[in-house]
Structure 1
């Protein structure tokens, strides 16, 4: 137990608390890790993040460590394998969206476009201060990013999912005002 004040959503479950204290909101610059988080946020659609967090290791095993170059080559046999894997969220639409997302990642890479540079381009490479009390700032950004991701062909990237992703990967600092992880 720690005497640190943290974001309210991370106060109850020890796994969420550890995730918050070590990962959530830390600016991520690795393209693979940014893509992995976006795909996992897509699997969260309609569910609680803790569900995904509890299954993250199984997701990583099932999706080849979220190596987009490997996932991009997944076949129907891989889809069927994943649909039979009780360790993950078994949604054909979300599995197919992840495979397509890997293909888009690889297409960007082949054109010389870094996924990390793309992700951070929306804020000029800087962390956007979400204010710590309201998510209005990040909501406008999430709308823009969502629209562009959809234009590129990504699925399960609506504004709510994108906002959660922007916060998780630290593009937006939305730690609550009193949270010990809040910077600035």
Structure 2
């Protein structure tokens, strides 16, 4: 029997796998949360499909998203990354990943990036019950607040729309449509 999925998923295998295995699954690992925020920042102005296709190249280029290593990147690394056709070659986004790694380290020492992010939602994913994609907002007052807070901490390329998409992707918000087979499955994955 064919499974019902969120409309955005389509039928491309890379999207179907991402939708069915990753999107909306609560992520509790601090480093993985940061990686996904960086990738969502790189996606700004592009399709998520572009990022998915380049994700392995991003991981290779950014030292498997090891924040300590990325935080130590130099201008020579920026130049190297600007020449890497496997990733999105955008100076601002590359430099944002580096400064974001530096901000992540400071935050990790204070309380943990994961702890801060999950505190916003009281430690449990917010579960929406949208029936159609038209009901899903591109951003909310909540994502605007988190975006402002992240920027104050030194993160960049984390506007309200990017933050909302990141919250959906990392399971801070469950925005699988209620008609989607993953809505209830994902809801059960919360701690």
**Partners in 2 of 1:140 and 1:71 — Cα distance?**
31
Aligned structure 1 segments of 4 or more residues deviating by more than 6 angstroms: none
Distance in 1 separating the partners of 2:136 and 2:125:
14
Gaps of 5+ in 2: none
Query: Aligned-pair RMSD on alpha carbons?
Result: 1.4
Distance (Å, rounded) in 2 between the aligned partners of 1:126 and 1:180? 20
**Does the CA contact (< 8 Å) of 1:130 and 1:173 recur in 2?**
yes
**2:173 — aligned with what?**
172
Scaled by the length of structure 2, what TM-score is found?
0.91
TM-score scaled by structure 1?
0.95
User: In the alignment, is the contact (CA less than 8 A) between 1:130 and 1:137 conserved in 2?
Assistant: no
Q: Write the mapping of 1:18-97 to structure 2, written as runs, cut at 5 A.
A: 18-97=17-96
8 Å Cα contact 1:138/1:172 also seen in 2: no
What is the count of residue pairs matched by the alignment? 182
Which of 122, 125, 128 is the equivalent residue of 1:124? 122
| Structure 1: gaps spanning 5 or more residues | none
State the distance in 2 between where 1:62 and 1:80 align: 12
Q: Give the aligned partner of residue 140 of structure 2.
A: 139
C-alpha separation in 1, matches of 2:43 and 2:138: 22
Partners of 2:129 and 2:140 in 1: how far apart?
A: 12
Q: 1:137: how far off?
A: 10
Displacement of 1:141 in angstroms is 1.7
